């Protein structure tokens, strides 16, 4: 909770902060390669990174505090196109 995203490249012995205090609670992260990945979370937010998780761009449709749910998990086809699915709470 609190939007922290950390990366390990040594099996979890050490970690590097990637997103500190992200304004949305992050629930799941998926990287299709070393540079391109997405995270989902609070207010149905989906964000994409193309630099290994250093910067994140919110995807359309934009999240909204009026939508009080979460996206809890996502999967993206790791080869080829940009097809994927995110699942979570129902819209209220």
pLDDT in tens, 5-21: 778 888 889 888 776 65
What is the reported pLDDT for 78?
72
User: pLDDT band at 50, cuts 50/70/90?
Assistant: very high
Supply the mean pLDDT for the chain.
79
With beta carbons less than 8 A apart as the criterion, state whether 15 and 7 touch.
Answer: yes
Kindly tell me if the per-residue pLDDT of 80 is higher than 80: no
Q: What is the mean pLDDT of the segment spanning 67-77? A: 80
Kindly tell me if the per-residue pLDDT of 30 is higher than 60: yes
b/e for 75-87, b at 16 or more Cβ within 10 A? ebeeeeeeeeebe
């Amino acid at each position: 909770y609190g939007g922290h995203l950390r990366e390990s490249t040594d099996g979890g012995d050490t970690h590097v902060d990637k997103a500190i205090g992200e304004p949305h609670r992050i629930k799941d992260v998926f990287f299709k390669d070393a540079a391109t990945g997405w995270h989902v979370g609070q207010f149905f937010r989906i964000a994409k990174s193309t630099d290994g998780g250093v910067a994140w761009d919110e995807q359309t449709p934009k999240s909204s505090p009026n939508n009080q749910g979460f996206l809890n998990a996502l999967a993206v086809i790791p080869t080829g196109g940009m097809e994927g699915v995110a699942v979570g709470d129902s819209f209220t």
